[in-house]
A and B are shown apart, each in its own frame.
Chain A
Amino acid sequence: MTMQKKLARALLPAAFAVAASTSVISTASADEVKFGALYPLSGPLALLGEESFRGLEIAVEEINANGGVQGMQIVLEGGDAVDQNQAIGEARRLISRENVEAIFGTYASSRSIAASQVTELAGVPYFELGAVAHEITNRGFENMYRTNPTARHMARTHIDMILEAVAPALGRDAADLRIGIIHEDSNYGSSVASFQELYGEEAGLNIVMVEGYPATNVDMSSIVLRLRERDVDIVMQTSYQDDSILFLRQANERGFEPSAIIGGGGGYSMMPTAEAVGFDVIEGVLNADFTQYAVNEGFAVGVDEFVEAYRAKYGSDPRSGHSLNNYAGAKIVLEALDQVEGFTPETIREALMAVDIPAGTTAVGYGAKFAENGQNDAAFMMGMQWRDGELITVYPPDAAVADLEL
């Protein structure tokens, strides 16, 4: 290779990098306020990362159309949190080069945990609208806030749903039901499962099996056998998509028919899961997740308007509830920021701590009241059921569009 060619090869990526970074620089003028939007927009988490970002975008457009915050138009500066390292790099860029007042994000818990370490050190507020890991708001951070329900809320909904809806629907005493907890063994599944155990034992439920498995498992027949040998009535599975499909299929094929299967989020909410296992197999399966669209509009006030705005902007129906939850969370935060003057971390904290929104008044149904650690303690997850090929809300009764049936 000639010297020129070598040089050209070495310099080409650098030239691209410079071109790419200069093209995205935007400056906020006097009547604008700039926030960062940090989501995985490429890589394996891109689909729901982008879906989450769309919710934030719609909230910002709506608020800008109504005069913005503190009379200023909001400008979003995007960052791509494709992995933990890049989440950190992008958070640094947003803070030091773009001078954002705060960052919104992130969908994926691991990215949120990584990026918020940077913002906390820099004293920049971080608004988490969608990541569920318990620890995000339990690290003693001063500028970390989270609007969405977490792993703990998911377990709470699972247990409450068993006590108040599943046991009555089966016509049995909740304490007589034999409960099996299975979960993928990363932070997500393990943390939900430990709260299920905690709340389940507090409520006097009979938990006969708790078992983790790697999410990359290609066979769950031994778990199905174990559940069957223990005469489990209710299975709770916290999982991603492939392991949800694997479990539902293998349970069905091996003739294991518990009285109820209750899934946790992710895989259980998605239409491709239902299509893969078959609508007849998933019929009646329960799930706890973020607020979705088949929900009582009298309780989730504004959900229809959100779907309309989404269709108008993106030309399709929302692909999951992530956009809705990011939308509602962003509105809670931005409307609070409109009540104070300036964007210093102190005024932002003051604004958030003053928030007190009752349930049944937002597009996601849940209310907002922030605890000292920044977590929205008024958030909760909805109980849902697959019925006739659709995932509909069945719990709590205020938000339900139909009764839970087994």
Chain B
Amino acid sequence: MDLIFTNLVNGLMLGALYAIVSVGLTLVFGIVKVINFAHGEFLMVAMFLVFFATAYFGVHPYVTLVVVLPLIFGLGMLVQRVLIEPLQDSDEHIMIFATVGLSIAMINLMLMLFGPDIYSTPSSGLRTVVDMGPAMFLTGQLNILIAAIALVGGIHLFLTRTQLGRAIRATGQNRAAAQLMGINVSWVYMVTFGIGVSCVGLAAVLIAPLYPTSPEVGQYFVLLSFVVVVMGGLGSISGALLAAMIIGIVDAFAGFYLGANVKDLVVFGIFLLVLIFRPQGLFGGARNMSHVS
């Protein structure tokens, strides 16, 4: 019984980690209709920003959010404006190549600037162990869980209750109609991409004190966040949260009972089953996935 509880807690913490990285990815996909393969690299860049801001200003890593968020939001808008927008009406494959190219360019730019070394952001007490009998976790992990739930709730409120949020959803549903209603579609895409990337900005602030930063770090998180996004239903934000939790828990239990070398088999096996029997994802409804309409 103890072991089940331990693994459950481990799984929830891991799921929260996947969730907080995946939310921005699914938002960008749902609205801008771009599969952003450079998503992990935005996380990496943001983690570097956290590291340098922490080192430079000597502040708690969480405080760097005030610097990291605007910077990464601006970077996201810039990428949308100069890279994605000119390709918006071209073939989907071109956009995939563009974001894959961006990912490779970002990794190698950081390698050129900072080398392949790791940079450890001070843990600032966030690695303090919370001991709940059989289950143990770090305060930093608990914060990620809380933040992931708050982020999903916050984005939901933003999309449903604000004028800009409604404009974003309208653009996501039908770009042409939204434009006819007087929505500046180009602007909405830039803001959405910026928000999507800002989600990993938030994730970076929470993750940097727990994981060393290196140019390759984005790659560690991004594969499973694609699984999460597709499993949750492309574009479904609450679906991503639930899928992340499922994957986290499956990962923890399979890792313990079957072994680390088998756990990916289980995770991806479940993923394949979802794709076969529910290709729209666990929580995805019928969606307009065309980026031209």
Contact = CB atoms under 8 A, between A and B. Distances in A.
Whether chain B is bound by chain A comes out as: yes
Interface of A: 42-47, 182, 185, 211-214, 216-223, 225-226, 229, 241-242, 245-246, 249, 253-255, 272-273, 275-276
Q: Is the interface of B mostly helix, strand, loop or mixed?
A: helix
Interface string B109-120: 001100111101
B263 interface: yes
A217 B260 contact: yes
A42, A44, A222, A242 — most chain B CB neighbours (10 Å): A222
A185 B136 CA distance: 27
6 contacts: A47-B116, A219-B252, A221-B255, A223-B260, A242-B211, A253-B136
Contacts of B252: 219, 221-222
A43 B104 CA distance: 11
Closest 9 A-B residue pairs measured CB to CB?
A222-B255, A213-B260, A222-B256, A212-B261, A276-B120, A216-B220, A221-B10, A44-B116, A219-B14
Contacts of B217: 242
B7 A225 contact: yes
B216 interface: yes
Contacts of B173: none
Given A213-B260, A218-B221, A46 B127 contact: no
A218 B17 contact: yes
Given A44-B216, A242-B214, A219 B117 contact: no
B116 A46 contact: yes
Nearest to B108: A43
B212 A44 contact: no
Nearest to B253: A222
A319 to B, nearest CB: 10
B269 interface: no
A219 B10 CA distance: 9
Contacts of A216: 219-220, 223
A212, A214, A221, A225 — most chain B CB neighbours (10 Å): A221
B138 interface: yes
A223 B255 contact: yes
B202 to A, nearest CB: 17
B55 interface: no
A288 B117 CA distance: 21
A220 B210 CA distance: 13
A279 B259 CA distance: 30
A111 B223 CA distance: 25
Contacts of A44: 111, 116, 215-216
Contacts of A220: 260
B261 A185 contact: yes
A338 to B, nearest CB: 36
B149 interface: no
Contacts of A47: 115-117
A182 B255 CA distance: 13
A276 B216 contact: no
B260 A212 contact: yes
A226 B259 CA distance: 8
A211 B258 CA distance: 10
A253 B13 CA distance: 15
Contacts of A255: 136
B111, B129, B256, B261 — most chain A CB neighbours (10 Å): B261
B261 A211 contact: yes
A226 B10 contact: no
Nearest to A267: B118
A216 B221 CA distance: 8
A49 to B, nearest CB: 10
Contact of B256 (A226, A242, A245, A253): A226
A242 B212 contact: yes
Contact of A46 (B10, B14, B115): B115
Contacts of B261: 185, 211-213
Interface in B30-63: none
B70 to A, nearest CB: 27
Interface in B1-36: 3, 6-7, 10, 13-14, 17
Given A47-B116, A218-B220, A211 B259 contact: yes
